[in-house]
Amino acid sequence: MTKNVLVLPGDGIGPEIVTEAVKVLGTLNLDIEIDSALVGGSAVDATGNPLPEETLNKARSADAILLGAVGGPKWDGNPMESRPEKGLLGLRSELELFANFRPAILYPQLAEASTLKPEVVSGLDILIVRELTGGIYFGQPRGIRTLENGEREGYNTYVYSESEIRRIGRQAFEAAQKRGKRLCSVDKSNVLEVTVLWKEVMEELAKEYPDVELSHMLVDNAAMQLVRAPKQFDVVVTGNMFGDILSDAAAMLTGSIGMLPSASLDKDGKGMYEPCHGSAPDIAGQGKANPLATILSVAMMLRYSLDESAAADRIEAAVQKVLDQGLRTGDIMSEGCTLVSTEEMGDAVVAAL
């Protein structure tokens, strides 16, 4: 049966990297129909809304969604409701994509590209499981209010219900079962009650997964351990905001955030796939962006939502091959390699396929 993929290029380098990823997808000759729609700043410009109704409807009916990136300085001054990021957050929450998987794998070819010593990062393979539709990103009440004395006050609410913690916890335990069977839950339970509950629920769940070794770490220590000795981690599970921050740190261990794909899944495995990086407005339109994170996101999409794991394996092998050939975009460039453009990198992956 034909599968439907909705492509949302977004802003900045989004359109460039998505073009390459779609090219790679097209090379596989699968029974997939591709549609596209606007999201983020480009949607604000065209319709005034970062997540137009039409985009949301198409997203609801698609089998999977591939997103580039959203945001840019052009819209930074917009009120919160019409910021590009609202489009992305709206998709995540409307589609209930609560489980965000961010694998940080160091390709051996890129050991030199990491800012950390090769011995610290070589062989790195960690998975960050980030809760994506709750926590302080979505908690109510929120806003900026004026107090009686005339001073303004900004406030957000960090809240998680037991069921929200349990469902992301299960995803993380199950992911750990398929990998190294170690799960580290990251919290701030020395200060924040919401994460005291988080920790308790993880402990309860651990009883159901006796084959997985559960540990806990405070988020500040986790940030330090990630750059000190990252290989101690197998699977990390954490809330929305901590996961946002730690996944950027983890990305840099692998040489470049331009290498990191991600999957955001609902309870039935329907998903949205996007690179972990942002829209990089400083290099947009210059052919400098690394399309590999988006191409690797296509591989995750084939594996998790489209039941095409053989095709996913082929893409990942093709990426290895172009790295073996010494082809590099600027972000992962090192001595003796060949600097290529966004398009040349996409073409090389297609040729390797």
Residue ranges in contact with ligand IPM by CB under 6 A? 71, 85, 88-89, 244, 278
Residue 45 near which of Mg ion, ligand IPM, none (CB within 5-8 Å, type-dependent):
none
* CA pair distance 16, 195, nearest whole angstrom: 39
CB of 248 to Mg ion, least distance (A): 6
CB of 230 to Mg ion, least distance (A): 18
Based on the residue annotation, tell me whether 244 is a catalytic residue of this protein.
yes
Q: Does the annotation list 291 as a binding residue?
A: no
Count other C-beta atoms under 10 Å from residue 298's C-beta: 26
119 burial type by CB count under 10 A (0-12 exposed, 13-18 middle, 19+ buried): exposed
Based on the residue annotation, tell me whether 324 is a catalytic residue of this protein.
no
Q: Does the annotation list 288 as a binding residue?
A: yes
Helix axes 309-324, 342-352, angle to 10 degrees: 120
**Smaller CB separation from ligand IPM, 158 or 196:** 158
C-alpha dihedral over 10, 267, 219, 225, to 10 degrees? -80
CB of 244 to Mg ion, least distance (A): 4
Q: What backbone phi and psi angles, to 5 degrees, belong to 173?
A: -60, -40
**Smaller CB separation from Mg ion, 173 or 273:** 273
User: Do the beta carbons of residue 67 and residue 39 sit within 8 Å?
Assistant: yes
Q: Which of 3, 58, 86, 188 is the catalytic position?
A: 188
Based on the residue annotation, tell me whether 3 is a catalytic residue of this protein.
no
Based on the residue annotation, tell me whether 188 is a catalytic residue of this protein.
yes
Q: Is 244 in the site for Mg ion (CB under 5 A)?
A: yes
Tokens 């609902």, located at residue: 266
Q: Which residue is nearest to Mg ion (CB)?
A: 244
Q: Does the annotation list 103 as a binding residue?
A: no
Determine the Cα angle at 349 with ends 345 and 353, to 5°: 165
Residue 129 near which of Mg ion, ligand IPM, none (CB within 5-8 Å, type-dependent):
none
Residue 88 near which of ligand IPM, Mg ion, none (CB within 5-8 Å, type-dependent):
ligand IPM
Q: Does the annotation list 74 as a binding residue?
A: yes
CB of 104 to Mg ion, least distance (A): 13
State how far Cα 340 lies from the chain centre: 24
Based on the residue annotation, tell me whether 304 is a catalytic residue of this protein.
no
Alpha helices in 159-272 (DSSP H): 162-177, 193-206, 219-228, 240-253
Catalytically active residues are: 137, 188, 220, 244, 248
Residues found near Mg ion in the complex (CB under 5 A):
244
Query: Where is the binding site, in residues?
Result: 72-85, 92, 102, 130, 220, 244, 248, 278-290
